[in-house]
Chain A
Amino acid sequence: MSAPLRRVQQAPRHLLVSEKGHARHPRSRHAAHVRDHAYNCRVSVLIPECGILPEVLKSTVADFGVYYLVKNLSVHELVAREFIDSFVKKGSCYALTYNTKIDQDNTAALLPTGKLILSVDKDTYEELGLQGRPSRYSGKKAMRYIITIDLTDSDFHPDGKKHKRVLWALKEKKPLEFDFLMAWYNTGAEGSTLMSYFPKNQIRALKPKITFSTLRDLQCPALQSNELEGKPEESCSTEELFEWLGAVLNQVNLDNKSSSFISTYCCPQPNTTVDQAFLCTITGFIIPDKIIQLLEQLCSYFSEPKLAHWLTLTVHGFADSPVSWRENEHGFHKGGENLYNFVVFRNLDYWLQMAVGTHDDCPP
């Protein structure tokens, strides 16, 4: 086949990683995977055979934390000694630019590890004058550069050359200003909060939006926790479950005949029909620490006997974040998806599916 014809039949590259394990195993990495994925915009929980919000989730869902929208914040304020000492070095501070597109605009993000990531276009990089590296997904001619500044580095103190250079670049050479979504998680004693640090007209506190719904007569695939690939006639594979879950969350009709003109999609076999299923969706700037709490509560949902065989927890990442897992560079290409999904079984076995798009590294 000639090259142009071959290109027409090629779909964009993508990756789906499926893991299975046991949540109570000492070396289980389920919490580590959640913690490594810093920026999450949407969390959905689906519990079959359940009509209302379960008791174990009531307190976690009621107190899902607060995040802040800080308008017109200059990036050099994130590098200020006071900010680093109050928020970056104590607890976990998360910041991500709001309404910037990773493939078009400059973007900045602050990871809880204290690394400040700036993803800038070529002109900004040359004007800024800070050390960075070309983006992995920018082709032969680098049009995008990534600058990483470690704010917790021992060399990065106010009298040091590094700090002076960074401050000069961000304050005088090329000032960068964005709207930031911020959150700060601190288990220790109360210190100053983000709300009191920034001027009142600049910062706004927001609560994640939470919606509940009950789905009736839902067809659910039958799953066996130790069979990732599924067994013919006995259980479905992770890929089929992943597609089915997408269909449920998008309100797709699961009951089509193969001869139907409009749609031929149907629930994977074998499946059972449940009378009701509970769906809870949380949207906003959600930090991994809260998701770990939610996951632990979902595991304790099965500490009492329940009709459901499994439940799912789906987390969507920000399409315009400069990183996906850990510090892996993330790009948009045609989708910018970086999401993961847990299936927790009655015996606390779990399946974890992590999906990324074209401009992404394999999740750890």
Chain B
Amino acid sequence: MARAEPPPATFERRVLRSAAGHHYLRVRLELPDGGARPNAAQLKQLVVAALKELHGEVGAALPVDVLTYEEKTLSAILRVVSSGFVKLWSALTLLGFYQNRRCAFRVLQTSPFLLALSGNSRELVLD
């Protein structure tokens, strides 16, 4: 017996203001001394250490995810709860050392929408 097709959808519009649960940052770690590169777990540990240094134990407990990590370019996409966005960004800015080596986090792009990080018009290269 053929199943009846559901009726076409009626028009509906929903506007969500500042409702994204998470914020996303695309960052790059600069390690100018050219030594051994951290792997994903070590990068996550570095982020947690940065949060602990600036915001204490409570800051270090902030749920941060390293969604992607490319060891070759040292770039990663981080996800953080929206209420912890300012804490995370400030902690990354003020991080200066990784295993006694000078380092710096560069925040390349940030957005409450992960989809927005897949296209950056500022990096548009025309041949």
**Contact A320 B122, CB 8 Å, known A11-B18, A265-B67:** yes
User: Hey, what's the 0/1 contact readout for B64-87 against A, CB within 8 Å counting as 1?
Assistant: 011111000000010100111111
**Of the candidates B19, B44, B121, which one forms a contact with A262 in the assembled complex, judged by CB atoms under 8 Å apart?**
B44
CA distance A44 to B44 in the complex (A): 30
Asked if A341 and B115 make an inter-chain contact with CB atoms under 8 angstroms apart, the answer reads yes
**Of the candidates A15, A252, A283, which one forms a contact with B124 in the assembled complex, judged by CB atoms under 8 Å apart?**
A283
Q: Which residue on B lies nearest to A260, using beta carbons?
A: B65
User: Hey, what's the 0/1 contact readout for B32-71 against A, CB within 8 Å counting as 1?
Assistant: 0000000011001000000000000000000101111100
Asked if B116 and A355 make an inter-chain contact with CB atoms under 8 angstroms apart, the answer reads yes
**Contact residues in B for A209 (Cβ distance below 8 Å):** 127
**Contact residues in A for B121 (Cβ distance below 8 Å):** 41-42, 316-320, 336
**Contact residues in A for B16 (Cβ distance below 8 Å):** 15-18, 239
Asked if A42 and B119 make an inter-chain contact with CB atoms under 8 angstroms apart, the answer reads yes
B: interface residue count bin: 35 or more
**B2 at interface (Cβ–Cβ under 8 A)?**
no
CA distance A41 to B124 in the complex (A): 8
**A206 at interface (Cβ–Cβ under 8 A)?**
yes
Asked if A334 and B110 make an inter-chain contact with CB atoms under 8 angstroms apart, the answer reads yes
Asked if A225 and B40 make an inter-chain contact with CB atoms under 8 angstroms apart, the answer reads no
Q: Which A344-359 residues have a C-beta within 8 angstroms of B? A: 347-350, 355, 357
CA distance A336 to B110 in the complex (A): 9
**Contact residues in B for A12 (Cβ distance below 8 Å):** 85, 112
Asked if B116 and A337 make an inter-chain contact with CB atoms under 8 angstroms apart, the answer reads yes
Q: How distant is A280 from chain B, measured CB to nearest CB, in Å? A: 13
**A14 at interface (Cβ–Cβ under 8 A)?**
yes
Asked if B14 and A18 make an inter-chain contact with CB atoms under 8 angstroms apart, the answer reads yes
CA distance A86 to B14 in the complex (A): 42
**Of the candidates B15, B40, B68, which one forms a contact with A362 in the assembled complex, judged by CB atoms under 8 Å apart?**
B15
CA distance A19 to B16 in the complex (A): 11
**B29 at interface (Cβ–Cβ under 8 A)?**
no
Asked if B113 and A10 make an inter-chain contact with CB atoms under 8 angstroms apart, the answer reads no
**A339 at interface (Cβ–Cβ under 8 A)?**
yes
CA distance A251 to B26 in the complex (A): 13
Asked if A16 and B83 make an inter-chain contact with CB atoms under 8 angstroms apart, the answer reads no
**A8 at interface (Cβ–Cβ under 8 A)?**
yes
Q: How distant is A239 from chain B, measured CB to nearest CB, in Å? A: 7
CA distance A355 to B15 in the complex (A): 10
**B95 at interface (Cβ–Cβ under 8 A)?**
no
**Of the candidates A11, A225, A314, A336, which one forms a contact with B115 in the assembled complex, judged by CB atoms under 8 Å apart?**
A314
Using a CB–CB cutoff of 8 Å, the interface residues on chain A facing chain B are 7-22, 24-25, 27, 41-42, 44, 69, 98, 101, 206, 209, 225-226, 228-229, 238-239, 242-243, 245-247, 249-253, 261-265, 283-284, 314, 316-320, 334-337, 339, 341, 347-350, 355, 357, 362
Q: Give 27 CB contacts A-B under 8 Å.
A: A10-B83, A11-B112, A16-B16, A18-B14, A20-B12, A22-B8, A22-B9, A25-B8, A44-B118, A206-B127, A225-B6, A228-B12, A238-B14, A246-B113, A246-B115, A246-B118, A250-B118, A251-B68, A253-B67, A262-B40, A263-B66, A318-B121, A337-B113, A339-B113, A339-B115, A348-B8, A362-B15
Using a CB–CB cutoff of 8 Å, the interface residues on chain B facing chain A are 5-6, 8-20, 22-24, 40-41, 44, 63, 65-69, 77, 79, 82-87, 109-122, 124, 126-127
